[in-house]
Structure 1
Amino acid sequence: MQLQRLLPNVAILKKYGVKESSISFLTVYYPDSLMMRSDELVKLVDKVTELGMDPSKSTFIYGINALYCMSRSTWEAKKKAYHKWGWSESDIHMAFSIHPRCMRLSKKQIMSVMEFCVNEMNCDAKSIARRPAVLLYSLEKRIMPRCRVVKFLMVKGLIKEPYNLLSILTIAYKTFSERFVMKYDNVPGLLDVYHGKLSLQDLGIDSSELAKAKLV
């Protein structure tokens, strides 16, 4: 039965322009995605394409797997969470096409990261739709300490230019530590902010000052 479904489904993906390397990856790491009925796979591939994903790109298979693993009600619940932050349908489609895993996050993860980035860091909610990888990082272990340190340094006038939120999160731990922590470890309060012992408000930094220090 598995082979009877696998071969026709592989042929369908090839017909849509999915590369053999992507099909091989899907077969090895997400084999269940190829075990559905062929008519269901066609509907799924059409849906992923409608959401803005290119079958010839390697990310397309992640879109297939993301939709395969979600019920319609779960998909709608995730959309509703993003709508609460002002995302339009096109914003959601764009984010999904860039990083399909953003729709597989728990509602709690979505809401907590958006809450922090928008309300505490003053980031534009829609800009996160263009950088959905932001949502995948650990809020407590990566997003909070890094963003707070950079904001702290900006408010203190120690770094000037606006910093890209995603670039702050993606750089290696050692690089971030050397560039933003160890270089300024003599600044009172910095290490406590980085290690979560003090908030920016604990250091007397008010919301108006934070609003001026932009993470883009």
Structure 2
Amino acid sequence: MDEALFVLNFFSVAITIIIVAVLEGLPFAVTPSLAVAMKKLMQECAIIRHLSTCEKMGSKGIWSDKTDTLTTNHWSSRSLGLSHSQIACLVSLAPAKIRRRSVVSRTHYYLSFFGSSQSFLQAIKRCPRLLSADLENPVKPNVAFLQGCGLGACDISNTCLARPSMLLTNPERLKAMVANAESLGVLRGSGMFRLLLRGGGLLSHGNFTARMENLKNTFRWSDAELITAVSKNPMVLKRSKETLERSSKLLISEIGLEPAYVARRPSMLNYSLEGRIRPRYHVLKFLKGNGLLDRDRDYYSAFKVTEKVFVDKYICPHNEVAPHLVEDYAAACRGQVPTNFRFA
């Protein structure tokens, strides 16, 4: 009995010591770790008033002064016409930028520039750096330059909404982009000019020159044909070298189209080779080879129409004499070339 009481007393004392040690020693163990966390946050330009705040260091949050910064920015943003939900959306899109007091003046400028809060939030989603960029340089100089290019306020806002980073582009680089667009014969202020600016990365000097040279060599175009093709379809500059080579092989080498023909109809380069051009080419070749279609029928007119129009115009009229054509075309669209589509 005495031995049992001794063991019980032993455990009671041990538990008491552990409880006292943890409660008294925990602050001494936690405080240095919180201090280290505060120091790391200070390196990120976040001032922490209370060490206990660092306990949430691993969670998503806004490390900012609530009274003098967040509250002020909140009510200033409310005065600009942003709703609570839009302010919450803005905070989620650019949590690091919202701490800055200058965000209010920038918000006021961009709301006026883009014309609506919805467009403003869409631009911030695509380029959060807008809220921290200096309005005086480069934003306003770039806007002034675009106005000098003949673009109206609505055209500039719509172009920059599609590519907000254009506002932050170095002014000299923007001028070089415009010069490259003009070298293609594109008039300032035209719809094609705006389209080229949206693909602005394509117009940087080194990238632009290399891609133009690659296009010219791949499709065996003359300088005039190259300018014609890019002017009509500037997005062709986005195509990879491998994709362009496959397009040239199919359109020029296999189908037999002349390079000049492709240059005048560069939208063909946007179509899927395996899902559209090749299956339709096999259908047309089959029909012409069996005397079911005028041999002079233009390929491009068949490539550009919608799927429904193509089927109604080139397949359905021949159901009786070529009942297999529907299945063969469907198989070709899946990447399989049926026997009936093979020619010696």
Q: In structure 1, what is the Cα distance between the partners aligned to 2:155 and 2:299?
A: 30
For residue 191 of structure 2, give the secondary structure of its aligned residue in structure 1.
coil
Deviating beyond 6 angstroms after TM superposition, the runs of 4 or more aligned structure 1 residues are none
Opposite residue 191 of structure 1, the aligned amino acid is V
Q: In structure 1, what is the Cα distance between the partners aligned to 2:242 and 2:327?
A: 27
Change beyond 3 A, Cα 1:204–1:32: closer
Which residue is equivalent to 2:135?
3
Structure with more helix by fraction? 2
Which residue is equivalent to 1:205?
343
Q: In structure 2, what is the Cα distance between the partners aligned to 1:203 and 1:16?
A: 52
Kept in 2: contact 1:75–1:103 (CA 8 A) = no
Q: Structure 2 residue aligned with 1:159, among 284, 289, 293? A: 293
For residue 219 of structure 2, give the secondary structure of its aligned residue in structure 1.
coil
Which residue is equivalent to 2:168?
35
1:18 aligns with 2:151: yes
TM-score under structure 2 normalisation?
0.54
Q: In structure 1, what is the Cα distance between the partners aligned to 2:343 and 2:161?
A: 51
For residue 84 of structure 1, give the secondary structure of its aligned residue in structure 2.
helix
1:117 aligns with 2:251: yes
Change beyond 3 A, Cα 1:82–1:100: same
Q: In structure 1, what is the Cα distance between the partners aligned to 2:231 and 2:317?
A: 38
Kept in 2: contact 1:17–1:56 (CA 8 A) = yes
Q: Which has the greater radius of gyration?
A: 2
Which residue is equivalent to 1:209?
none
Which residue is equivalent to 1:176?
310
Q: In structure 1, what is the Cα distance between the partners aligned to 2:341 and 2:304?
A: 27
Structural mapping, 1:178-197, within 5 Å: 178-186=312-320, 187=322, 190-191=325-326, 193-194=328-329, 195-196=331-332, 197=336
Q: Which ranges of structure 1 fall in alignment gaps of 5 or more residues?
A: 207-216
Kept in 1: contact 2:196–2:234 (CA 8 A) = yes
Which residue is equivalent to 1:59?
192
Kept in 1: contact 2:181–2:196 (CA 8 A) = yes
Q: In structure 2, what is the Cα distance between the partners aligned to 1:144 and 1:60?
A: 32
Cα drift, residue 144 of structure 1: 0.8
Structure of higher RCO (CA pairs closer than 8 Å, 6+ residues apart): 1
Q: Which ranges of structure 2 fall in alignment gaps of 5 or more residues?
A: 1-132
Q: In structure 1, what is the Cα distance between the partners aligned to 2:153 and 2:288?
A: 48
Kept in 1: contact 2:150–2:189 (CA 8 A) = yes
Change beyond 3 A, Cα 1:57–1:179: same
Cα drift, residue 161 of structure 1: 5.4
In the comparison of the two structures, how many residue pairs are matched?
205
Which residue is equivalent to 2:183?
50
Cα drift, residue 47 of structure 1: 1.5
Cα drift, residue 22 of structure 1: 2.9
Kept in 2: contact 1:63–1:96 (CA 8 A) = no
Kept in 2: contact 1:99–1:133 (CA 8 A) = yes
Opposite residue 113 of structure 1, the aligned amino acid is S
Opposite residue 179 of structure 1, the aligned amino acid is K
Opposite residue 299 of structure 2, the aligned amino acid is L
Opposite residue 195 of structure 2, the aligned amino acid is Y
Q: Percent identity over the alignment?
A: 24
Q: In structure 2, what is the Cα distance between the partners aligned to 1:164 and 1:10?
A: 45
Residues 145-178 of structure 1: per-residue CA shift (max 9 Å, x gap): 1122122212222121523333222211111111
Opposite residue 185 of structure 2, the aligned amino acid is G
Which residue is equivalent to 2:279?
145
Cα drift, residue 6 of structure 1: 2.5
Q: Structure 2 residue aligned with 1:94, among 201, 218, 228? A: 228
Change beyond 3 A, Cα 1:176–1:133: same
Which residue is equivalent to 1:108?
242
Residues 45-75 of structure 1: per-residue CA shift (max 9 Å, x gap): 1111111112222121221233424662474
Query: RMSD across aligned C-alpha pairs, in angstroms?
Result: 2.4
